[in-house]
A and B are shown apart, each in its own frame.
Chain A
Amino acid sequence: MSTLKIENLHVSIENKEILKGVNLVVKSGEVHAIMGPNGTGKSTLASALMGHPKYEVTDGSAMLDDENLLELEVDERARAGLFLAMQYPQEVSGVTNSDFMRSALRAVRGEEIPLIEFIMQYEKNAQDLKMREDLPHRYLNEGFSGGERKRNEILQLKTLKPKFAILDEIDSGLDIDALRIVGENVSDMVSPDFGCILITHYQRILDYIKPTHVHIMIDGRIVLTGGEDLIKKIDQNGYEWIKDELGIDFEDGSLE
């Protein structure tokens, strides 16, 4: 049982403040959906927690159990148990998926993994995600379609088994079959040892991964928190009603 605790997090990129005090507590076994219009800081939250070099944390804290994530390097955060499924995964030529994952697993576990054991598990995970059979031998994301890349992120997630995963718009660009496969695989992972933050614009992925908490982020803050009722409301009415209800003004970046 672990806890990810974010308090008053302020984050800037190139001296422009994007996150203006985010508070969030996620426990193992929970699924938190963070929704909101484009450009309100959802992905910034994900990248800042993982430690992307372009994002500067100016205030606040982020603790994974008793480890202060903000003091750790990117790789140390991963080894502490954090995983980020990226919105736009990079391609790396010449590095095969399986070589990469085996090295990463060794780093995360801190011990050598017998090759056979690794391959069996990795291939089983790839089958669960209905990925192409030659995948382990292909170069990391090279020549992958958008959907294949997203699935590959989930394959890495299943292989590394972190304590917490942040899925940054994992559903964007997925067709309905891929969405179901990805959703079911993530949903199956949720357990007393695993919790997850789902960043999304769309409610559809939430049909497969049932959130325990739903948050709405506007202008760098979480402005509303609730349950599934919130999803329904957004589905029917978009985000405009929040302006009236909370008396705040914002611009939907997706409309720009």
Chain B
Amino acid sequence: MNQIVVNQKTSNIDGVKIDASTITVLKNTVLDDTLTIKLIDRSTENLTINVENNAIVKIIFEIQDALKTEANYNIVLNTFNNTNVKFLFIADVAHEGVLNFKGNAYNDSNIEFIGSFISNKLTAKVHLDLLGRGANLKVRTITVSALNNNQVLDVHMIHHAPNTFADMTNIGIASGEGIVKLNGVGEINQGMKGSSAFQTLRGIITSDKAQIDVNPILIIDEFDVTAGHAATVGKIEEEVLYYLMSRGLPEVEAQKLIIYGFLRPVLDEIDDALIKEHVEKIIDERI
């Protein structure tokens, strides 16, 4: 496995160039192994990842932050022409912080962004610009707030080119006194014909003190497009819980099963076994 722990000694990876604040996957590189990038306790707060033309790569990007002061991350992902990027993002900030994630997708680049937000207190803005024709973004996120965690996630996708496609599914889970706020914005500018913007926001709470707020927004300034949105928030249904418990499952286990079922649409899209296992383990620890 290829692993980069930023600011620590790293082994050389063919096709990948590493500077102080930039990691570049070079032109035409096809990485068979997953590239894992870890930022541990703010080894850096600013990082740019470039994926050059025709490169194909799977990246696990993990922020582990146990520091007691406020964090402020700025991460940029540039995917150049005809690239194919699977990007698993995990934000685990133990104290408090702000995270700006900026993506720029050029012609015919495909980004599949899967995010797991499991921080204590975090405001995360994922801002993705579709800059080139044929750019295709798929975003799947899971935000889990337990105890008194408080997380805000904004996912904003803007179509600056015709024939660009964006699809997001964001799921929030709040237990205890946890709070999740999900904002989804899809914006298609004038003249960006043939584009599509879809969004689904779903939330589930497992206690009366937990809170979830979802806001799906579509801003569309062009006729020749397809778009749609859906949003649902709810408690775990008492009848469903009763049904599962009536077969012998303790309440906590029954709830877990229901929550996993709820996350299934995101989990099932992770086709990399290693990544999937990783995400499931993280969620399991939280719920």
Residue of chain B at shortest CB distance from A95 = B261
Q: Distance in Å from the Cβ of B55 to the closest Cβ of chain A?
A: 34
A75 within 8 A of B: yes
Q: Distance in Å from the Cβ of A177 to the closest Cβ of chain B?
A: 26
* CB-defined contacts of B237 to chain A, threshold 8 Å: 90
* CB-defined contacts of B247 to chain A, threshold 8 Å: 78, 83, 100-101, 104, 107-108, 156, 160
Partner of B254, one of A75, A108, A160: A75
A253 within 8 A of B: no
Q: Cα distance A78–B240 when bound, in Å?
A: 15
* CB-defined contacts of A99 to chain B, threshold 8 Å: 257
* CB-defined contacts of A73 to chain B, threshold 8 Å: 245, 251
Q: Distance in Å from the Cβ of B209 to the closest Cβ of chain A?
A: 20
Q: Which residues 89-114 of A have a CB within 8 angstroms of B?
A: 89-90, 92-95, 99-101, 103-105, 107-108
* CB-defined contacts of B257 to chain A, threshold 8 Å: 92, 95, 99-100, 103
User: Are A84 and B246 neighbours in the complex by a CB distance under 8 Å?
Assistant: yes
B264 within 8 A of A: yes
Residue of chain A at shortest CB distance from B257 = A95
* Count of B interface residues, CB-CB < 8 Å: 24
* CB-defined contacts of A100 to chain B, threshold 8 Å: 244, 247, 257
Q: Cα distance A32–B218 when bound, in Å?
A: 59
The interface size bin for chain A is 20 to 34
Q: Cα distance A83–B247 when bound, in Å?
A: 7
Q: Cα distance A139–B257 when bound, in Å?
A: 12
Most chain A CB atoms below 10 A, which of B244, B248, B253, B261: B248
Q: Distance in Å from the Cβ of B241 to the closest Cβ of chain A?
A: 9
Given contacts A73-B245, A90-B243, whether A107 and B253 have CB atoms under 8 Å apart is yes
Question: Could you list which residues of chain A lie within 8 angstroms of chain B, going by C-beta atoms?
Answer: 50-53, 73-75, 77-79, 83-84, 86, 89-90, 92-95, 99-101, 103-105, 107-108, 139, 156, 160
Question: Could you list which residues of chain B lie within 8 angstroms of chain A, going by C-beta atoms?
Answer: 237-240, 242-251, 253-254, 257-258, 260-265
Report 20 cross-chain contacts, Cβ distance below 8 Å, ordered by A residue.
Answer: A50-B246, A51-B246, A74-B246, A75-B245, A78-B245, A86-B243, A90-B240, A90-B243, A92-B240, A92-B261, A93-B262, A93-B264, A94-B260, A95-B258, A95-B260, A95-B264, A100-B257, A101-B247, A104-B248, A107-B248
